[in-house]
A and B are shown apart, each in its own frame.
Chain A
Amino acid sequence: MAKAITQVRRMELSEEEQRQRDLQEIEAMLIEHKESLQALMNVLDKVYKSGGMDLAVGLFDQGDRVLDVLVKAVDNPGAAKTLKNGLLLVGTLGQLDVEKLGPVIERMNSGLDQVAQWSEGDRSLAQILGKTNWKETLLFLLSFLKGVAETEKKQQKKGKTGWIATAGLSIAGFMFMKKKGWLD
């Protein structure tokens, strides 16, 4: 019963009471989750002792700047290319038919053994010519190159021309050069 009023007096006691209520609530929560909290404390202890805590604080504290630096550092053509090539390689791994590659690698190894023998041992042309199974060797080389040539045609549009050929030859070349000691 009275005129319209607009002033509101906030409850003064309520701050103290509010604090009490909040403390009670937290107390109840701590008791309810006693076990998981103990486990958490354990982990935190170990992180703290190893210095990980400090590291994390630094990271979160300067989070924006850190991210900024990271992103800007990576934002250069070289880095982008590396990441891109890395992703491409991973993608292409899926395309390699490693099962079929197995026997080829075996043969590669034998071939390299022969090369090793040649580089470290006898240098007699006549001897090698005599010992070699020419038919098998030629068949191996020719069928490999045949496959490369055919695939090359198919891949013209996608721009992945001669990848396998290059890869294969570079692996072979690399191994040759290593054995020869040209790369040391």
Chain B
Amino acid sequence: MSKQVNITLNGQNMSMPGDITVMQALKEQSIDIPAVCYHPSLGPIETCDTCIVQVNGEFVRSCSTFIHNGDVINTASEEVKKAQDIAMDRILYNHELYCTVCDYNNGRCEVHNTVKQMKIEHQSEPFTPKPYEEDNSHPFYRYDPDQCILCGRCVEACQDVQVTETLSIDWSLKRPRVIWDHGVSINESSCVSCGHCSTVCPCNAMMEKGMVGEAGYLTGLSKDTLRPMIELTKNVETSYSWIMPVSDMESAMREARVKKTKTVCTYCGVGCSFDVWTKGRKILKVEPQVEAPANGISTCVKGKFGWDFVNSKERLTKPLIREGDTFREADWEEALNLIKKKFTEAKETYGPDSLAFITSSKCTNEESYLMQKLGRGVIGTNNIDNCSRYCQTPATMGLFRTVGYGGDSGSIKDIERAGLVLIVGSNTSESHPVLATRVKRSHKLKGQKLIVADLREHEMAERSDLFIQPKAGTDLVWLSAVTKYIIDKGWADKEFIRKRVNGFKEYVESLKPYTMEYAEKITGVPKRQIIEIAKAVHEASSTCILWAMGVTQHLGGSDTSTAISNLLLVTGNYGKPGAGSYPLRGHNNVQGASDFGSMPDRFPGYEKVEDDDVRAKYEKGWGVKLSAKPGLNNHEMVEGIHNGNVKVMYIKGEEMAMVDSNINHVHEAFEKLDFFVVQDIFLSKTAQFADVVLPAAPSFEKEGTFTNTERRIQRLYQIFEPLGESKPDWQIIMEIANHLGAGWEYEHPSEIMAEAASLMPLYAGVTYERLEGYNTLQWPVAPDGTDTPLLFEEEFPFPDGKARLFPVQWTKPMEYEEEYDIQVNNGRLLEHFHEGNLTYKSKGITSKTPSVFLEVSPELAKERGLEDGTVVRLTSPYGSVKVPCHITDRVKGKEVYLPMNDSGEGAINYLTSSRADKDTDTPAYKEVKAKMEIIQQTGEDPLPRINHRRGNPNPQIGVQVEKKWARPDYIFPGDLVKKGALKRG
């Protein structure tokens, strides 16, 4: 609670909250003052000096000056105007003004708008070119030093928001400029292509290449013609009052042909939303918005620049039917009739359970709903699953057991403000980049503590306050030891446990074996480090635990997730801001797919198939009889094909042939199917096994909703028409259902959502009107539209409202014969999404990361005689891969890391087994051991010189404007005005 203070503003007395800046106070009163470098998501940067006003007679920058009681503020005097003009002059000295032929003339250029606002007619010092070339080296954006006004927004964003710490301004140069790392070209730096700099740049100095030459009516002119035009404009211009209206007219005209549409990113589970600017089918740029709830102005390389795949020539545009050993293009009618025939045959000959349906964690909620409705309501089977089983189902299980809801406890904002963030088995900065930036920023600037547990020293580990490297698959042990230590020390939140948790006594009993000594023995982590973790949790104001595949993709994945939740319950870290459990969802719609019943034993909203009342509700809602028998999950389907029970499969939007485990086994199963339908946007590896391939439309070409890892439901809007004859998945499913006699009549996805909302209490109040624009809802959503950003504030969704501590025991990881001595860790990369079906279509991304590579430790390289580029074969009991080496100390000893960005000989899943989490059948991807042999000693290093991992970041806090002020040629404009007054007076 801040108290009010009294100030006088331009002669008027008023009362304002006491903790705001002068600039904020002026905004409150709708008083317009110029501000070029200030940005609401970056805070005050203090480099432009245009926001100068007088407070108590002194000149100050209004962005960084807080108001105090009794302040007298003047924004309208001659002197204030003089100071602001001086500041603007200095900006124009650095920026060549040619708005009408500038690609950034779209109404948002801060330089243009401020010149207009300040009614600047001339500049006192003419622009002179800087002694630097344009930097066009990077595939996605370019830097034009001649246009750079040195506001430092890009530096601020890179250092303190994205926290990759690549950019800085070299204030020691005669003409300062932005530099990458310590002064290399953009493409050779540590730049991760996240796009923040081009997003926040107030003018056209840092600009997306998609915009260059495309955005304006005249900007596409060749350089030879453009230069004289610019010169002419400058020689002829009498004052800027001419340039402004003409360029404003051109800017208004651009609205006619540049379309701006909101969408939600289709890549990872953070669920960034942004506007996409398009001209015809050309994508000009992705423009993040401050009001986007999950990400604000932040993006990563995929969301900002990874959209080449939408217009790729390899897109499927017509249905394909297998004939012999080729696919033949066919008409929709023929394909649909064939599907109808085969589905009906199988159903009548072998029964409904001989068909299996895989829906998608990448497609919309409405599409998942229709797929499970097709399987359950039209065919009559519960054989429905999707790829979320490959990742977070164990976490969902762990949370169902303990707190009742299988989703993140709060929002990304809660992670941002936690006192302690504990990351277990997650490479957050590469798998959930924008979410990681919040942690990095809080850690760098706000004193947030960070503890990381992982095999590999990735970026979050490097930044952490404490980094432990337990043996693979032993997390449950140290987590339980931490919990036991906290209870033994009397640090448990007794009030919370008493009021809100059941099962404490039995739980404490179950913890008996997990002493510090036992933990150290099993995990290999020194006792004192585990004790440090316990202390940190105890001392933190609030704790968020983030986890991902390092926890779930093990034989005991559900149990480890349960142990995490138990720890949070014991320490009272639920139901309050800045605390809770955060199993980070992989795909953009893992949460949504699960929410909408894409599993064999539950309907949408997680209600059980075996529950008679629930089934009756759906039978009434859909008008059909439904089966009470839970169906088969992914792995059970594969077994079912092998033993002849499953004859027909229909997969949409998933690359099961590459991302399931033990793919030799899966490929053999696909070859045995009687009839296989695959629906995708490319001829994926899975589609290559199909009998019928149906061309689908990606997120840019349809309407629908995604639900991100924050349980946040967001709408996406259609940007393009579907390419060729491809169709949105929901339309295709509907047509198949109707060919089978279903009689569905959906005209728009909003109708599908309305039907689902009427049947699922979790989404009861969700409507498309409530989700318009950037509005979102976090489930549970009550019928009146009230949503739930923070879970468990009042009670837990169990009959007595209390959570449950759930005792678990450690499951030993898979054991291998001695010859398999290399631990093959695996996972994601920042720039390629999973196997790369979408991202390899981007020339820019592929140029920087052209292939898969094996991270090998220096110790192992020395021992086995490996170099950068050596091609090795790894063989497990299940298969083998061939892959080139890259030596790095991110991995240690005999642990290697094989990322999953390959669909050929280097695909990790040739090595993984079919063993899985004992409770959910999530494959134990992380429990892989192999033996290694050298195939080719010398070869090219798989990571090219321009890969960002080879760069050298230059960490600092912000743009260090003090260095600018210390320059001999700098005088504060306020001082200059005072000097002038003295001279005249």
Contact = CB atoms under 8 A, between A and B. Distances in A.
B322 A11 contact: no
A10 B330 CA distance: 9
A26 interface: no
B326 to A, nearest CB: 4
Given A1-B691, A2-B689, A68 B326 contact: no
Contacts of B328: 8-9, 11
B225 interface: yes
Contacts, number: 76
Contact of B225 (A7, A71, A91): A71
B238 interface: yes
Given A5-B327, A9-B328, A71-B229, A80 B236 contact: yes
Interface in B211-238: 221-222, 224-225, 228-229, 231-232, 235-236, 238
Interface in A5-32: 5-11, 14
B232 A74 contact: yes
B535 interface: no
B222 A9 contact: no
A4 B689 contact: yes
Interface in A31-68: 64, 67-68
Contacts of B235: 77, 80, 84
A11 to B, nearest CB: 4
B565 to A, nearest CB: 41
A80 B235 CA distance: 6
Residue from B322, B329, B673, B676 having most chain A Cβ neighbours under 10 A: B329
A11 B329 CA distance: 5
A106 interface: no
B322 A2 contact: yes
Nearest to A74: B232
Contacts of B478: none
A105 interface: no
Contacts of B688: 4-6
A2 B327 CA distance: 12
A88 B225 CA distance: 26
B458 interface: no
Given A80-B236, A87-B242, A88-B238, A75 B675 contact: no
Interface string A69-88: 00110110100100110011
Interface string B320-352: 101101111110000000000000000000000
Contacts of A14: 318, 329
Chain B at the A interface: SS class: mixed
Contacts of A154: none
B232 A6 contact: no
B140 to A, nearest CB: 28
B260 interface: no
Contacts of A91: 238
A3 interface: yes
B55 to A, nearest CB: 30
B236 A83 contact: yes
Interface string B679-705: 000010100110100000000000000
Interface in A79-101: 80, 83-84, 87-88, 91
Nearest to A12: B329
A74 to B, nearest CB: 6
Nearest to A75: B228
A7 B327 contact: yes
B228 A11 contact: no
B667 interface: yes
Contacts of A84: 235-236, 238
A30 B231 CA distance: 46
B686 to A, nearest CB: 9
Contacts of B320: 8
A4 to B, nearest CB: 4
B671 A72 contact: no
A20 to B, nearest CB: 14
Nearest to B673: A1
Contact of A6 (B222, B657, B683, B691): B683
A75 B232 contact: yes
A9 B326 contact: yes
Nearest to B691: A1
Contacts of B228: 71-72, 75
B672 interface: yes
Nearest to A82: B236
Contacts of A11: 318, 328-330
A3 B671 contact: yes
Interface string B231-263: 110011010001000000000000000000000
Contacts of A77: 235
A1 B688 CA distance: 11
B619 interface: no
B685 A4 contact: yes
B674 interface: yes
Given A8-B329, A88-B238, A75 B231 contact: yes
Given A3-B689, A11-B318, A67 B225 contact: yes
B683 A1 contact: no
Contacts of B323: 9
B559 to A, nearest CB: 37
Given A11-B318, A74-B232, A80-B232, A2 B671 contact: yes
A68 to B, nearest CB: 5
Contact of B224 (A1, A2, A68): A68
Given A4-B667, A68-B224, A9 B327 contact: yes
A22 to B, nearest CB: 14
Contacts of B242: 87
20 contacts: A1-B671, A1-B674, A2-B322, A3-B325, A3-B689, A4-B688, A6-B688, A7-B326, A8-B326, A8-B328, A8-B329, A11-B330, A64-B222, A67-B225, A68-B224, A71-B229, A71-B232, A72-B228, A77-B235, A84-B238
Interface of A: 1-11, 14, 64, 67-68, 71-72, 74-75, 77, 80, 83-84, 87-88, 91
Interface of B: 221-222, 224-225, 228-229, 231-232, 235-236, 238, 242, 318, 320, 322-323, 325-330, 657, 667, 670-676, 683, 685, 688-689, 691
Given A1-B672, A2-B671, 5 more contacts: A3-B689, A7-B327, A8-B327, A8-B329, A77-B235
Those 4 A-B pairs whose CB atoms lie nearest each other, nearest first = A4-B688, A11-B329, A7-B326, A80-B235
